[in-house]
Structure 1
């Protein structure tokens, strides 16, 4: 995790500071009014609220997160490590609760760095060309997570950052979003990364997520 407490990460389009994750405040510290809303069975929280952390708190939006005991592999390199719930006062409610509050979002996510205009992507090794120690290239499969009508992300994948150390190869990859489109699952797109030196026994890491995670076969 980044050591900068002011850095803002994204979790399914929801901003959360690194400080909220590194020095968490339990959800039980929220006002009684909000706790009453979160305890509504329609919210669907099964764990004690003391196990949830406050990711964001304002007069109109409250987001809490709970680290999963075992991350959920959604496939194609998309691995979710947190449950996230947002309740909102006013508009944008999926399920009305105690007025003025309602459930805005309930999802699974993984904290990731802000990619700016680019969107997140699932990243795996290409099983057709698994890495070898003498390779000076890494063959990857990149799966766009934004809406693209189930089409590949050809010519829109960008290697934002490549950092090579003695023990790791750290990759930050994003996808230039397409305009419009429906949201079925997108297919993986082959993508090759050129290295400055042979891979050897270094670990390949997806550094777009926080903390960085090893890139594996799908």
Structure 2
């Protein structure tokens, strides 16, 4: 099924450009919001599969709008935050709030279409190198560190592999375990960390010190 998209951006020209780009790629745009405060109502009205959410908006920003949508709806859309800089603190907070990934405004149209389809299919858009930059210099501690201590040794190992960008199937091959076992570990990791998706789990892992910015990952 072709995923539908809602655009949330305070710049009319940006929304117009994204609409044209997405529709050219066969992705229908079902609605728009000019401020984060309009997003929840727009989502309820149009029921998109994915929201392209600008993180920097006047009034209610994209971070708070992400929290509102994910908290208010039993089956919320996937949220992709859009930013100018890949080391934006707003992106870090949006991923912690539950966004499935992020895109740069300078991304090519094929990359944007791929990102929409990826998160609509239930996968997170994970950029290990970018996430390491987002958390660089942040000291582990707090509630995330306490939650991470409840992970078993194997769960922590799986989480580190997720942070390198590996899929469940790749992790199963790397650890020589079944795919179902990996899925069980991933479910347990999400539950213990209070994470809704892989991107959020990886950010929490860095915050907790389970994964460190110096570790080498791959996409």
Q: Which has the higher strand share?
A: 1
Give the TM-score normalised by the residue count of structure 2. 0.26
Give the TM-score normalised by the residue count of structure 1. 0.26
Which structure has the greater CA radius of gyration?
Answer: 1
